[in-house]
Amino acid sequence: MSLGILLLLLLMPVGYNQKVRKMIIHVGENVGNIAERINSATKEIKIVSGEAHNKVYDNPIILEAIRKAIDRGVKIMMICGPNIVVDGDMDSNPKKIKPLIEIAIEKKDNFEFYLSDRRQREHFMLIDKKHVYKEAPHEQLAPIRQSTEIENSFWEANRLELNFDESKKGFTRIITKDCVVDHLYYYDELKSKATALS
């Protein structure tokens, strides 16, 4: 047995009791569950998202959970892009304000937001290196997703942790709105752009 595998087995938590739940969801219908996970965080949250979908990341319940997590000292790190969807349209949100990005800029000591130069294939949320929410690969802005939740994850959590840490190395950290303004799109605008490219 290799030394690496032996070390992983020795480091596996005692009382390891993994629970897995698979679901088919419509985007935004599981906001309460995601907020509950964010609210359970005590140390860190790592997120990889495609477009930071407005039905999830512009939802007041999620935004409040993120603010509260930061206030209690939880470190949040997120990768998304290269396109980011904002709520509303030219009439209701002419400046393309994305509250999530405003929080990341305002709370940059505890919220690292990275802009990817390509759409990430694997989307997930990793809470305290042990709770996983992940989605199967899907098209940009897909309305239905296959998701998996893993409670008390060890192997998958470690794999995603390494994936995140390696991925963020080459991406731009957003510290001002100028860093991201050219990557913000209204939902219909981004949907049209995706249709035109296909």
| Residue 14, pLDDT score | 46
Average pLDDT value for residue range 139-158: 94
pLDDT of residue 170 exceeding 80, the answer is yes
pLDDT of residue 5 exceeding 80, the answer is no
CATH class of 15-197: alpha beta
- Burial degree of 142 (CB within 10 A; 0-12, 13-18, 19+): middle
Average pLDDT value for residue range 122-144: 95
pLDDT in tens, 82-91: 999 999 888 9
Q: In angstroms, rounded to a whole number, what is the distance separating the alpha carbons of residues 102 and 100?
A: 5
| Residue 150, pLDDT score | 95
pLDDT of residue 188 exceeding 70, the answer is yes
Q: What are the boundaries of each domain within the chain?
A: 15-197
Confidence of residue 7 (pLDDT cuts 50, 70, 90): low
| Residue 195, pLDDT score | 72
| Residue 95, pLDDT score | 87
Q: If phi over 0 gives left and psi between -120 and 50 gives alpha, with beta otherwise, what is residue 185? A: beta
